[in-house]
Structure 1
Amino acid sequence: MSMRAVLVRSAGVGIALALGAAVVPAHAAQPVVVAVDGTLCDLTKTLAAGAASVTCLIPPGGDPHSYRLKPSDRSKIAKSDLVLHIGFGLTPSAKKLKSPGTVVAVGEVALPSYGGSDPHVWHDPANSAAMVQVISSSLTPVLPASDRAALQQRTARAVAVLQALQSWEAKQFSSLPSSQRVLVTDHRTYSHLADRFGVVEIAMLDSHTTGGVLRPSSLKTITQEVKSSGAKTIFSPAATPSKTLRRISKSTGLPIATTPLYGEGIAAGRNAVSTATLNVCTIVNGQGGSCDTAGANALNSQWSSIR
C-alpha cells in the first residue's frame, strides 16, 4: 500500500471516529453447508439458524431418485464446508459429490443397523430425531466456537419437538380401529412410518407389477388385496393421480384422496414437521378418522420457533 493510500485510509478512520461512527471489523464468511434432500435441508436450516449459509439442492416437490446435479449445484458444492445427504441410495447422484469439506450420509450414520430397502427414513420421527443429532455433530466443527452453545440448544429443542411429534402421530393412528390402520399407495415409501405405528402399508405397484406395468392379472390381484385390506382410500403422491391409480380406484371402488401424500420431501410452503403432520392427517382422515389439527398446529409452531 502506498504512503498516500495509508494517509487517506488513516484520515477516513479519523473522520469516522470524530463523527462518532463505529469502525466495524470485517467478519469471516459464514460456513457454507449444502443439504441435498428437502426434508434433510429443513432439519439443517433449523439447526444452523443464522450461523451458516445453508443451500438446498432439491426443491419442494422434487424427486430425489431422479435428481441430477446442475452446474450451479456443483459450483455450490465446490465451495462448501459440509455436504449432507440421506444416503441409502435415495439420491443416486449423491454418490458423485466432491466437496473440499466433509460429505455425510446422515441417514446411514443415524441408522447404522438398517438393512432394508426404503430410504425414506424420516417418516419415522424417531429416525428424524437421530438424524438431528448427526446433523448437529456434523455442524459443530464447521461453526465458530461462539455459535456452538446455541447449536446445542437448538438441537435439544428440535429433538424435543420430534419426540412430541412421535407421540402425536401415535395418538392419531391409535384413534383408528386396527382394521383401518391401512395405507394403500403406489410405491413403498412409508415403511418406516408403518413399522413405527403398526400400520399396514400396501405398495400396490411394487408388490404386483414389474416396472410399474399394470397388466390385467396385476389389476385383479391388486383389487382383491385392497378390497380385503380394510382400506377406505387410495393415497396418491401427486395432486393429479396417475392413470394407473385411477384404474385401480375404479376397479376397487375406493376414492383417491384429494390431498396427496408428500413422500419424497417437504411440501411447498411447509417444513419437515408441518409436512409430517399434513401426511398423517391425510392418512387418518382418509381412513375414516378425525385428525387433531390443533395439536398439529401447535407442533408446527414449536418447530418454527426454533432459532
Structure 2
Amino acid sequence: MRRRTAGRPRARVRTRALLLAGVAALAAVAAAGCGTDGGERPSVVVTTNILGDITREILGEEAEVTVLMRPNADPHSFGLSAVQAAALEQADLVVHNGLGLEENVLRHVDAAAEAGVATLAVGDAVDPIAYRSDDSAGQPDPHFWTDPDRVRTAGALIADHVVEHVTEADDAAVRANAARYDAQLAELTGWMEESFAEIPSRDRQLVTNHHVFGYLAERFGFEVVGAVIPSGTTLASPSSADLASLTRAMDEAGVRAVFADSSQPERLAQVLSQETDSEIRVIPLFTESLTEPGGGAGTYLEMMRANTTAIGEGLTGR
C-alpha cells in the first residue's frame, strides 16, 4: 500500500508535465501562424503568373501572395481546383487581369466578389485598347502587359488597393516597394525604346501566332500585319482561308518572320510551310506566361527583355 501511495504523486507530476508541454507546443504552432497582431497573415490571391510577379514585387513580405496560374500555363484555358476556388473567397484581395482573359476563372472571381472579397480587374483600368482586325475586332484586348508603361499604371493600382483593403500590410513599405518597382519599369521602357530604335521603320512589322502584341505595337511604333490564329485567344484555331490570307499579307509586306509562343514554334512552322513556298522563320517568344526561374522568363522584367531582344534579332536578321 505504501508503495502505491508513494507512486501517485510521481504519476501526477508526470501527467502535469505532459499537459504543460502540450499547451506550450500548441501555443508555438499558433504563434507561427499569426502576424504580429495575433491574427493570420493577410492574403492576396492573383490569377495569372505575370500579375502575380508584379504583385509580389509591390507587396514584398507584407502579405501572403498566392498565384493560381502555374508557370508555362495558358491564361485562356487554365482552371482552378476546388481548394483554389475556396482560397479566393478567403482572401483580403483578389487581383485578376480582366478583359476576358481568364476565361475559366472569372466565375470564381465573381463568386468571391459576391462573398464580399475586394477584387481588382487590372486590365479594365489601364486604358485598354480594342482588337483592330479579324475575328476579335472591336473586343477589348487583355494583353496590356506587353506595354510596360501600362504595367506601371497597373502597379500603382495594385498598391492603392493593397493599402485600402489589406489593412494589416504596412502602407509605407508597400508604397516604397511600388516606387522601387515603378523605377525599374521606367528603366525597362527606356531600354526597349533604345533597342527598337535599331530596327528601321519599314521593318517594324509583326506577325504572331495569335493577336497578343497590340499594346507593344501601339507603344513602340510597330505594325501588326496579322496572326496565324486571327483571334485574341489561343482557344481558337486557324482555317485554311485564314492561313492563305495571312501568307498573302506577309508576301505583300515582305515579312519572313513569325513570332510564336515558346510552347509551340515547331508546330507553327510546319503549318506555315504547307501554305507558302517561301522560307519563314518562326521565332519563339514568351507571350502569355512566365516560366519557372531559370527558364528564360522567370519574372516580368526578364520576359520583356528576352522578347525585346528576340524581336530585334528576328526583324533585323542579327
**For the superposition of Structure 1 and Structure 2, which TM-score range results when normalised by the shorter chain?**
0.7 to 0.9
User: Partner of 1:96 in structure 2?
Assistant: 108
Deviation per residue, 1:6-44 (Å, 9 max, x gap): xx97xx99xxxxxxxxxx977322111100011111111
Equivalent residue runs for 1:2-81 within 5 Å = 27-81=38-92
Equivalent residue runs for 1:74-153 within 5 Å = 74-92=85-103, 93-97=105-109, 98-99=111-112, 100-111=116-127, 114-116=129-131, 117-144=140-167, 147-153=170-176
Q: 1:177 to 1:55 in 2, by over 3 A?
A: same
CA contact (8 A) 2:196 2:312 kept: yes
CA contact (8 A) 1:236 1:245 kept: no
Deviation at residue 114 of structure 1 after TM alignment: 4.2
Stretches of structure 2 that go unaligned for 5 or more consecutive residues are 1-15, 25-34, 132-139
Q: 1:172 to 1:125 in 2, by over 3 A?
A: same
Deviation at residue 247 of structure 1 after TM alignment: 3.0
Q: 1:256 to 1:146 in 2, by over 3 A?
A: closer
Deviation per residue, 1:213-269 (Å, 9 max, x gap): 332x54443222112324342212134425454231462312212xx2121122332
Q: Does 1:202 align with 2:213?
A: no
How far apart, in 1, do the equivalents of 2:253 and 2:292 lie?
32
Name the Cα RMSD after superposition: 2.7
Q: 1:182 to 1:25 in 2, by over 3 A?
A: closer
CA contact (8 A) 1:191 1:201 kept: yes
How far apart, in 1, do the equivalents of 2:192 and 2:49 lie?
21
Q: 1:220 to 1:26 in 2, by over 3 A?
A: closer
Deviation at residue 207 of structure 1 after TM alignment: 4.2
Deviation at residue 159 of structure 1 after TM alignment: 1.2
- Count of aligned residue pairs for this structure pair: 267
User: Partner of 2:316 in structure 1?
Assistant: 288
- Aligned to 1:168, the other structure's residue is in SS state helix
TM (norm. structure 1) is: 0.78
- Aligned to 1:164, the other structure's residue is in SS state helix
Stretches of structure 1 that go unaligned for 5 or more consecutive residues are 14-23, 291-307
Q: Aligned letter for 2:72?
A: G
Tell me which of 208, 212, 225 is aligned to 2:237.
Answer: 212
CA contact (8 A) 1:176 1:289 kept: no
How far apart, in 1, do the equivalents of 2:262 and 2:94 lie?
29
Deviation per residue, 1:172-219 (Å, 9 max, x gap): 1111111211221121001000111011123333449xx53332x544
Deviation at residue 148 of structure 1 after TM alignment: 0.8
Which has the larger strand fraction? 2
Which protein is bigger by CA-based radius of gyration?
2
Deviation per residue, 1:21-75 (Å, 9 max, x gap): xxx9773221111000111111111111111000000112111111222112112
- Aligned to 2:163, the other structure's residue is in SS state helix
How far apart, in 1, do the equivalents of 2:62 and 2:81 lie?
26
Q: Aligned letter for 1:34?
A: V
Instruction: Report percent identity of matched pairs.
Output: 26
How far apart, in 1, do the equivalents of 2:71 and 2:172 lie?
31
User: Partner of 1:246 in structure 2?
Assistant: 270
User: Partner of 1:268 in structure 2?
Assistant: 292
Deviation per residue, 1:106-131 (Å, 9 max, x gap): 121233x6455321011101110000
Deviation at residue 101 of structure 1 after TM alignment: 2.0
User: Partner of 1:237 in structure 2?
Assistant: 261
CA contact (8 A) 1:194 1:200 kept: yes
TM (norm. structure 2) is: 0.76
CA contact (8 A) 2:217 2:223 kept: yes
- Aligned to 2:265, the other structure's residue is in SS state coil
Deviation at residue 146 of structure 1 after TM alignment: 6.6
- Aligned to 1:205, the other structure's residue is in SS state strand
